[in-house]
Amino acid sequence: MNNNNPVIKIIASLADTKKHTLRISEKTIEKTRLTKQFLMELAEYCLFAAAVFRATFSRDFEFREFMRQCFQIGYKTLPLISVTGIIMGLVLTIQSRPALVNFGAVSLLPGMVAVSLIREMGPVITALICAGKIGSGMGAELGSMKVTEQIDAMEVSATNPIRFLVVTRVLAATLMIPILILYADGVGILGSWAGANLKGDVSFVLFFSQAFSHIGFHDFIPAVVKSFFFGGVIGFIGCYKGYNAGRGTESVGTAANSAVVMASLLVIIVDLIAVQITDMM
Amino acid sequence: MPETVIDIKDLHKGFGGQAVLANVTLKLYKGENLVVLGKSGSGKSVLIKCIVRLLDCDSGTINVLDQDVNALDGEALGTLRKKIGFLFQSGALYDSMTVKENLEFPLRRIRKELSQAEIDEKVMSVLTHVGLSDSMDKMPSQLSGGMRKRISLARTIVVDPQIMLYDEPTTGMDPVTSDEISALINEVQKKYKTSSIIITHDIECARGTANRIIMLHEGAVYLEGTLETFEQSADPFIKSFFK
């Protein structure tokens, strides 16, 4: 065949164009499918949020279940937060001290650690730990209830499962996680004092008075406010993933895992937004 | 003519384009045990979930106690559901609650007028009826499969429902326990004057409990009649069930 034939050249270039166009179409179809999937998932989140919001303000609040969840989330997470908080303060002190010594500013160590813990490290690290423990726990528990038809059983016995299972957990997480964060900040400063005494000799009273002399409301209030959002996000995502788990046992693990991942990601995003707002104020 | 408590007409339900129930029409009369037989995947569980609106049907009407289930809003649907007991295939006991708390759960919500003493008495009464009065403080994980099914039945009848829906009550049970569950279903019918739909593919359960049988095949009603009708049928599909 004569490849220099102009007709054959035209046909070949048309075939190439068609192949190229088909490839573009496939990519477009894939992007459209992913966009549609994202928008549908977003719509599911919004519908779930609307149902939770309606159930929160309906009558017959499940106070007993709410208190039980506060105990589960708050009291049962204390040991983990205690260890994490102490290590946070200890590590921050050990890492920061040499740099401050070089600048002759080691007296600023208590204040620096306290501000870092209260403003950022305490809320974010504690929230990430809670996303792992509490978020995954909610995802697994509700996912397991979904798979074993316990949620259906609740619905058939004329109980609103969203009011009983989700609202109580979301509110308990929103209330207890800020308290855990404050607790983590406190034990973190304690850990920092222990770290300061590894290389020096600082009295407890002196360390704490130096630490708190550098903290103001402008450090404290934004951190407390964002910790409520952290708690709400962790509770909501954990419950959403569990409540919407599939019907097989594999879906329980998937729900727990995706609850942790999504809650952790949203904690970081909420923190970013909070920092921007605080910076503007 | 006996009173009709459930009246289903031309019920259609499908998932992902696949029809699970096609043109199902049936009635449940007051005081009877209606057994719905069929192979796995014939739409039996979907049927009773549509009755309590755990699933929405695609078309057709479902009247329960003279109310159109599909037309009810949240509160009205909740009020109707209080009159229906549903025994799930897996039992569906709440894992985080003791047996006593499991039974108190629907009772506190449906019978709000009862005092704690009355609730305790009612719980003890139904547990005694199912032969498990000493299991009150146990967690569901500490119970055998048969015990869990009986506790689930107790949780369903503790609120005195008018209608009972049983989803595969004997699945996974040994023959002795299956007979015990079937006997309990008959006792519930006599003592609580319930009207029941029993979904099963267990012929012995059907033999032990049915006043009337409907067979579903490929999502439609294949045959309806008494136990004798089915046992004497020459249809090869029916015979394969009743061999």
pLDDT digits (tens, 9 = 90+) for A92-133: 999 998 888 888 888 899 999 999 999 999 999 999 999 999
Q: Is residue A237 part of a domain?
A: yes
Q: What is the ipTM of this complex?
A: 0.90
**The Cα angle at residue B140 between residues B135 and B141, in degrees rounded to 5:** 115
Residues A12 and A137 in one domain: no
Q: Clarify whether residues A229 and A99 are in a common domain.
A: yes
Q: Answer yes or no: do B81 and A148 touch at CB < 8 A.
A: no
Q: Is residue B210 part of a domain?
A: yes
Same domain, A25 and A128: no
Q: Do the domain assignments include residue B203?
A: yes
Domain span at A21: 1-49
Q: Could you tell me if residue B98 is inside a domain?
A: no
| A108 within domain boundaries | yes
Question: Which pLDDT score is estimated for A130?
Answer: 96
* Any domain includes B228: yes
Q: Do B110 and A153 touch (CB under 8 A)?
A: no
Strand ranges for B4-90 from DSSP E: 4-15, 18-29, 33-38, 59-64, 67-68, 84-87
Q: Which residues of A touch B69 (CB under 8 A)?
A: none
Tell if the CB–CB gap between A152 and B54 is shorter than 8 Å. Answer: yes
Same domain assignment for residues A125 and A163? yes
- pLDDT given for residue A161 in this prediction: 95
Task: Say if residue B149 is exposed, middle or buried (CB neighbours under 10 Å; 0-12, 13-18, 19+).
Answer: buried
Indicate yes or no: CB of B95 within 8 angstroms of CB of A144: yes
Whole-prediction pTM: 0.87
Burial state string for A215-236 with b = 16 or more CB within 10 A and e = fewer than 16: beeebeebbeebbebbbbbbbb
> Is the residue at B124 inside a domain?
no
CA distance A231 to A219: 19
Residue A24: band (very low, low, confident or very high) from pLDDT cuts 50, 70, 90: low
User: How far is A185 from A206, CA to CA, in rounded Å?
Assistant: 18
**Helix, strand, or coil here: B197?**
strand
Total residues belonging to chain A: 281
Residue-level pLDDT at A199: 79
Phi-psi region of A15 (alpha: psi -120 to 50; beta: other; left: phi over 0): alpha
Asked whether the beta carbons of residue A157 and residue B109 sit closer than 8 angstroms, the reply is yes
In percent, how much of chain A has pLDDT > 70? Answer: 96
* Residue in A68, A156, A164, A249 to test binding to B, most B beta-carbons within 10 Å: A156
Are the CB atoms for A118 and A85 separated by under 8 Å?
no
Closest residue by Cα to residue B240 from A164, B231, A209: B231
Look at residue B16 in the predicted model and tell me its pLDDT: 84
Q: How confident is the model at residue A17 (pLDDT cuts 50, 70, 90)?
A: confident
The reply to whether A54 falls in a domain is no
**Could you tell me if B42 and B216 are in contact, meaning their C-beta atoms sit under 8 angstroms apart?**
yes
Identify whether residues A141 and A178 lie together within a single domain: yes
CB burial class (10 A; 0-12, 13-18, 19+) of residue A113? Answer: buried
- Percent of chain A whose pLDDT exceeds 90: 68
Closest approach of B232 to chain A, Cα-based (Å): 38
Task: Residue A61: list chain B partners with CB under 8 A.
Answer: none
In chain B, the number of structural domains is 1
Say if residue A7's pLDDT is above 80: no
Task: State the nearest Cα–Cα gap between B17 and chain A, in angstroms.
Answer: 19
CATH label of the domain that carries residue B74? 3.40.50.300
Q: With contact defined as beta carbons under 8 Å apart, do A191 and A89 qualify?
A: yes
Same domain as A114, residue A13: no
E-assigned strands of B120-231?
Answer: 163-167, 195-200, 212-217, 220-225
Q: Report the amino acid identity of residue A157.
A: S
Nearest CA in chain A to B153: A153
Assigned domain for B155 exists: no
Rounded Cα gap, residues A201 and A109, in angstroms: 13
Does residue A107 lie in a domain region?
yes
Q: Which residues of B82-96 are buried (b: 16+ CB within 10 A; e: fewer)?
A: bbbbbbbbbbbbbee
Q: Is the residue at A56 inside a domain?
A: no
Residues making up chain B, counted from first to last? 243
Nearest 10 degrees: CA dihedral of A98, A104, A108, A112?
A: -40
Q: Which residues of chain B have pLDDT under 70?
A: none
Q: Are residues A72 and A27 in the same domain?
A: no
Across A96-106, b (16+ Cβ under 10 Å) vs e yields bbeeeeeeeeb
Sheet containing B163-167: give its strands across: B84-87, B163-167, B195-200, B33-38, B212-217, B220-225
A169 to chain B, minimum CA–CA distance in Å? 14
Tell whether A263 is covered by a domain. Answer: yes
In the prediction, which pLDDT does A183 show?
A: 96
Q: Select the residue of A144, A148, A156 nearest B81 (Cβ to Cβ).
A: A156
A58 touches chain B (CB under 8 A): no
Closest in B79, B90, B110 to A157, CB measured? B110
Pick from A141, A153, A159: which is nearest to B92 by CB? Answer: A153
User: How many domains does chain A divide into?
Assistant: 2
Beta bridge partners of B225: B213
Write out chain A residues lying below 8 Å of B92, CB-based: 148-150, 152-153
Q: Which residue from A79, A126, A115 is spatially nearest to A264, judged by alpha carbons?
A: A126
Q: Check CB contact of A1 with chain B, cutoff 8 Å.
A: no
